[in-house]
Structure 1
Amino acid sequence: MGRKDTSYDALYASFEERIEQLKKLPKMKEESSIEEVIEENGFGRRDFMKWTGMMTALLSLPSTFTPLMAEAVKVADRLPIIWLHMAECTGCTESLLRSAEPTIDSLIFDYISLEYQETLMSAAGWQAEQNLERAMEKYDGRYILMVEGGIPTGNEGSFLTIGGHGKKGKDIAIEASEKAAAIFAIGTCSAFGGVQAAVPNPTGSVALSEVTHKTVINVPGCPPSEKNIVGTLLHYLLYGTLPALDVYNRPKWAYRLRIHDLCERRGHFDAGEFVEQFGDEGAKDGYCLYKVGCKGPYTFNNCSKNKFNQGTSWPVQVGFGCMGCSEPDFWDTMGTVNEPLKDRLYNTTFGGLGADATADKIGIGLLTATAVGIAAHAAIASVKPPKE
Structure 2
Amino acid sequence: MNKKDFKRVQDRLGGVSRRDFMKLCSTLAATMALSTTVAPKIANAITSPTRPPVIWIHGSECTGCSMSLLRSEHPTLETLIFDLISLDFHETLSAGAGHQAEEALHKSVSENAGKFILVIEGAIPLANEGIFCRIAGHNFVDVVKDIGEQAGAVIAIGSCATWGGVAAMDPNPTGCVGVDEVLPDTQVIALPGCPPNPYNLLSTIIHYLTFKKMPALDDENRPKFAYGRLIHEHCERRPHFDNGRFARKFGDEGHRQGYCLYYLGCKGPVTHANCSTSQFGDAGSGCWPVGIGHPCFGCAEKGVGFNVPQFTTSPVIHTTPVAGHAPITVERGEGASSGSSALMAGIAGAAIGAGAVFTAKLGGKEDKNENKEA
Identify the TM-score tier after normalising by the shorter chain: 0.7 to 0.9
Q: Within 2, Cα distance between the matches of 1:274 and 1:77?
A: 54
Q: Which one-letter code corresponds to 1:293 in the other structure?
A: G
Question: Equivalent residue for 2:294?
Answer: 320
Which secondary structure does the structure 1 equivalent of 2:118 belong to? Answer: strand
Q: Which one-letter code corresponds to 1:143 in the other structure?
A: F
Equivalent of residue 139 in structure 1, options 112, 123, 129 = 112
Equivalent of residue 172 in structure 1, options 143, 148, 152 = 143
Equivalent of residue 355 in structure 1, options 318, 326, 339 = 318
Question: Equivalent residue for 1:68?
Answer: 41
Q: Which one-letter code corresponds to 2:54 in the other structure?
A: I
Question: Equivalent residue for 1:385?
Answer: none
Question: Equivalent residue for 1:185?
Answer: 156
Q: Within 2, Cα distance between the matches of 1:87 and 1:118?
A: 13
Asked if 2 retains the 8 angstrom alpha-carbon contact of 1:355 and 1:374, the reply is no
Question: Equivalent residue for 2:58?
Answer: 85
Percent pairwise identity? 42
Relative to structure 1, the CA distance from residue 180 to residue 377 in structure 2 (aligned partners, 3 Å threshold; closer, same or farther) is farther
CA displacement at 1:53 relative to structure 2: 2.1
Question: Equivalent residue for 1:130?
Answer: 103
Relative to structure 1, the CA distance from residue 291 to residue 114 in structure 2 (aligned partners, 3 Å threshold; closer, same or farther) is same
Q: Within 1, Cα distance between the matches of 2:356 and 2:283?
A: 31
CA displacement at 1:378 relative to structure 2: 7.3
2:8 is equivalent to residue 36 of structure 1: no
Relative to structure 1, the CA distance from residue 292 to residue 173 in structure 2 (aligned partners, 3 Å threshold; closer, same or farther) is same
TM-score, with structure 1 as normaliser: 0.76
1:262-341 aligned at under 5 Å gives the runs: 262-312=234-284, 313-335=287-309, 337-341=310-314
Question: Equivalent residue for 2:86?
Answer: 113
Task: Map Cα deviations across residues 269-297 of structure 1 (whole Å, 9 max, x no partner).
Answer: 11111111111221122211100011000
Task: Map Cα deviations across residues 24-56 of structure 1 (whole Å, 9 max, x no partner).
Answer: xxx9xxxx954334336xx65544333322221
Task: Map Cα deviations across residues 132-175 of structure 1 (whole Å, 9 max, x no partner).
Answer: 22222111111110000001111111122232xx2111000011
Give the unaligned 5+ runs of structure 1: 1-18, 21-26, 347-353, 357-371, 380-388
Q: Within 2, Cα distance between the matches of 1:151 and 1:158?
A: 10
CA displacement at 1:83 relative to structure 2: 0.6
Q: Which moved more, 1:261-270 or 1:107-116?
A: 107-116
Asked if 2 retains the 8 angstrom alpha-carbon contact of 1:193 and 1:329, the reply is no
Q: Which one-letter code corresponds to 2:118 in the other structure?
A: L
CA displacement at 1:70 relative to structure 2: 2.7
Asked if 2 retains the 8 angstrom alpha-carbon contact of 1:236 and 1:243, the reply is yes
Regions of 4+ moved over 6 Å: none
Q: Which moved more, 1:113-122 or 1:62-71?
A: 62-71
2:139 is equivalent to residue 195 of structure 1: no
The alignment covers a number of residue pairs equal to 319
2:66 is equivalent to residue 103 of structure 1: no
Question: Equivalent residue for 2:25?
Answer: 52
Task: Map Cα deviations across residues 216-255 of structure 1 (whole Å, 9 max, x no partner).
Answer: 0001111111110100001111221122211211111110
Q: Which one-letter code corresponds to 2:13 in the other structure?
A: I
2:192 is equivalent to residue 220 of structure 1: yes
Question: Equivalent residue for 1:362?
Answer: none
Question: Equivalent residue for 2:229?
Answer: 257
Q: Within 2, Cα distance between the matches of 1:250 and 1:199?
A: 24
Which secondary structure does the structure 1 equivalent of 2:55 belong to? Answer: strand
Relative to structure 1, the CA distance from residue 148 to residue 33 in structure 2 (aligned partners, 3 Å threshold; closer, same or farther) is farther
Q: Within 2, Cα distance between the matches of 1:83 and 1:224?
A: 15
CA displacement at 1:331 relative to structure 2: 3.8
TM-score, with structure 2 as normaliser: 0.79
